[in-house]
Homo-oligomer: A and B are copies of this chain.
Amino acid sequence: MSDFEKKFLNLLNEKKTCLCIGLDPALPRQRSENVISLKYLGSGSENEARLNYCLDIIEETRDYCIAAKPNQQYVFGFTKQEHQSLTSRIRDSHMLSILDYKLNDIGQSIESAIFHLAECGYDAITFNPLPGNLEETVKTAHGPVRKSRGFELGIIVLTLMSNPEAEKYMKTARIGSNSLFQTIAKDVKEYEADGCVVSASGYVTEDDIKNVRKIVGEEKVFLTPGIGTQGGDLGKIIRAGGRNILINVGREIIYSPNPRKRAEEYCTTINKIRNK
């Protein structure tokens, strides 16, 4: 079992929740709704504002969440020190830290990314498999990283994404007799990555999810986005995904009037379906 899978199981036993809080801190001048409160922008930089907002959300939701997932597209421009502040707080709150980075690059650039991301303290990152180099990525993120900081950087591979347009490349595309997502799942298994991003939205059927689970085995962690705002189906992922799932909810919790209460509600709803 990988370091990430072990940590996931320990926390699942401890906290009895599989809710992951999606941290998408948008600036008020960035769009008209779902933005961080103006109070965070009183003094200091926009980076500090976004960071402090994330720290507050972690504090409010920590009792109901097993993981926190900042999205790179919202924390763009964070320094390494700011990433470290974020991951320290997440770890101290007994949660896994996953940077939704969607890494995809080659050779020495992959090594460089993993060098920086590991120093930021993340437990795992998401990874886009299109360049075909999952093997070298996992090898770098597990071996050398474990040696330098004491624990591996988990690699969670985009397998079935939640947006409707993903169907074209992930499901319709084929390599031999497999859909692309099946080939990706086989790579996850063969190269010992730590998990898969598997959504439960429209084009992804219960059979697709079962199929991915069968290919990768019971221990890989499924990270499931698209629940909440994007209309993903909780029942579908819980029935088909197995035990090791992380249900990510972002906007519906972080931009609600009471994030703590909303996280508790999601946690309760999920556990009711899981314990049926």
Contacts and interface: CB of A to CB of B under 8 A. Distances in A.
Nearest to A30: B115
Contact of A107 (B105, B163, B169): B163
How many copies the complex holds: the figure is 2
A77 B101 CA distance: 13
Interface stretch (A7-15, A86-94, A127-135): A127-135
Contact of A166 (B72, B112, B113, B131): B131
A264 interface: no
A133 B163 contact: yes
Interface string A79-119: 11001000000000000000000111111111111011100
Interface residues of A, number: 58
Contacts of A175: 168-169, 172-174
A144 B80 CA distance: 30
18 contacts: A26-B108, A31-B108, A31-B111, A46-B80, A47-B79, A72-B113, A73-B113, A102-B105, A106-B162, A128-B128, A130-B161, A132-B163, A132-B165, A132-B170, A173-B174, A173-B175, A173-B183, A174-B174
Interface of A: 24, 26, 30-31, 34, 46-47, 71-74, 76-80, 83, 102-113, 115-117, 128-133, 135-136, 158, 161-163, 165-170, 172-175, 180, 183, 230, 251
